[in-house]
Amino acid sequence: MTKYKIERIYESTASDDSYRVLVDRLWPRGISKERAALDEWNKEIAPTDELRKWFNHDPEKFPEFSRRYMKELDNNPAAAEAKSNWNEQSAVTLLYGAKDTEYNQAIVLKKWLED
């Protein structure tokens, strides 16, 4: 079973051997491709622009955001394909750019992947 973890892309690059995936729709400011050290950038599984803008990282909206994003993931063929591909990895690090470490899409995606 694949082990999933979450990390801010602005934190130092982990020295573990996990498969590193950026799960944001937009490239994070100030991060070079070299510094990101990604194995994959999967923007197709990020929340839609409409949902992302509605949420606007408002903690009070997080429960509803989580519900809506899970529904998007359930109906997104790219998410199912990513999950299938990542199951071949022993560990996957989901990278995100948001400042908020408690209320972001990577948390929801990790829960969806583990369910």
| CA-based torsion, 15, 37, 80, 75: positive or negative | positive
Q: At CA 2, angle to CA 21 and CA 24, rounded to 5?
A: 20
pTM to 2 decimal places: 0.93
Q: What is the pLDDT of residues 80-99, one digit of tens each?
A: 999 999 999 999 999 999 99
Domains of the chain: which residue ranges? 3-114
Q: What is the pLDDT of residues 43-67, one digit of tens each?
A: 999 999 999 999 999 999 999 999 9
How far is it between the farthest Cα atoms of the chain?
Answer: 36
